């Protein structure tokens, strides 16, 4: 575990004087790349937005590096979203930086359970897993309807924290609300007639998306790990019964089990990244992939 107190003290001794010499934009920090997109859509170039989970990393097991922790000394707001690494790290960061405003953008959302998921007892790789079928699905940024709630909260906080830019924030927010609603309408058009269809996915990231558009996701992953040979055989039988033509994977996880299932039923393996930064483009890409493959 990184000693946050020692890092903070070292930073205050060595870094703060040099930082004060430069005129810089106000800084806010978010957990994942889609949130960066949300903040920038509202704030334009008024703010500098830092992201904790690096591209290609998983929010389930991420550990911030020392440079990211040091950067938080400049940040005025932290927008969390409910991903697993936050449970271990945000309380420590709040104690280290008591002046940092912590905002839960998922607060007030009714979350769905991520069935069969096992959560980590710790925050690193190789930790023991504890069964918890009621574990809430954190992927709330993949539902346009839930994103409207999140950006409303982000907009309100930014206006209160940085009132001199409030008018620009209002304009950015209004334009982005329209974009989110237009995205939802376009996805519904793309997926018209696919209601009741199902798709296989390695990690169950697309539950809210599937729920919004009347689809069913079937996860290959079992309890946060790859399936055993017996579980894999069961998944292959199910894929045959469902006449599956695709297994969706994401860059943050191994695709070995997905490839085995796909080869067994002559399906394709298609990559969808739920953590891609360009939110609208990514959801439309997912919708088009599901239009082609959902049965």
DSSP per residue over 114-178, as a string? Answer: -TT-EEESSSSTT--EEE-TTPBP--GGG-HHHHHHHHHHHHHHHHHH-GGGHHHHHHHHHHHHH
The segments of the chain whose pLDDT lies below 70 read: 1-23, 115-134
What is the C-alpha to C-alpha distance for residues 35 and 30, in angstroms, rounded to an integer? 6
Instruction: Please give the mean pLDDT across all residues of the chain.
Output: 87
For 81-103, how does the pLDDT look when each residue is reduced to its tens digit (9 = 90+)? Answer: 999 999 999 999 999 999 999 99
- Strand, coil or helix: what is 104? strand
For 280-291, how does the pLDDT look when each residue is reduced to its tens digit (9 = 90+)? Answer: 999 999 999 999
Cβ atoms 262, 165 nearer than 8 A: no
What is the C-alpha to C-alpha distance for residues 139 and 286, in angstroms, rounded to an integer? 14
What is the C-alpha to C-alpha distance for residues 172 and 48, in angstroms, rounded to an integer? 16
pLDDT at 221: 85
Tokens of 72: 């938080």
């Amino acid at each position: 575990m990184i000693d946050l107190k020692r890092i903070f003290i070292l930073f205050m001794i060595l870094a703060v004087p040099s930082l004060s010499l430069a005129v810089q934009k106000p800084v806010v920090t978010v957990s994942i790349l889609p949130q960066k997109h949300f903040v920038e859509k509202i704030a334009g170039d008024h703010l500098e937005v830092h992201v904790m989970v690096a591209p290609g990393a998983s929010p389930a097991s991420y550990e911030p590096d020392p440079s990211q922790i040091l950067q938080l000394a400049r940040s005025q707001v932290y927008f969390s979203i409910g991903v697993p690494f936050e449970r271990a790290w945000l309380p420590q960061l709040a104690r280290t930086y008591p002046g940092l405003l912590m905002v839960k953008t998922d607060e007030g959302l009714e979350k769905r359970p991520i069935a069969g998921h096992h959560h980590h007892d710790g925050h690193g790789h190789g930790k023991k897993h504890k069964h918890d079928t009621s574990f809430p699905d954190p992927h709330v940024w993949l539902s346009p309807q839930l994103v409207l709630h999140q950006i409303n909260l982000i907009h309100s906080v930014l206006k209160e924290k940085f009132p001199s830019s409030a008018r620009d924030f209002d304009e950015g927010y209004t334009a982005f609300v329209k974009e989110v609603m237009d995205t939802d309408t376009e996805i519904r058009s793309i997926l018209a007639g696919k209601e009741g269809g199902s798709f296989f996915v390695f990690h169950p990231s697309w539950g809210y998306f599937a729920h919004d558009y009347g689809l069913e996701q079937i996860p290959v992953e079992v309890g946060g790990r790859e399936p055993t040979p017996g579980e894999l055989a069961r998944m292959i039988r199910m894929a045959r019964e469902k006449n599956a033509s695709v297994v969706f994977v994401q860059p943050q996880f191994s695709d070995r089990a997905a490839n085995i299932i796909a080869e067994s039923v002559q399906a394709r393996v298609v990559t969808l990244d739920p953590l891609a930064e360009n939110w609208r483009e990514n959801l439309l890409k997912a919708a088009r992939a599901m239009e082609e493959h959902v049965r």
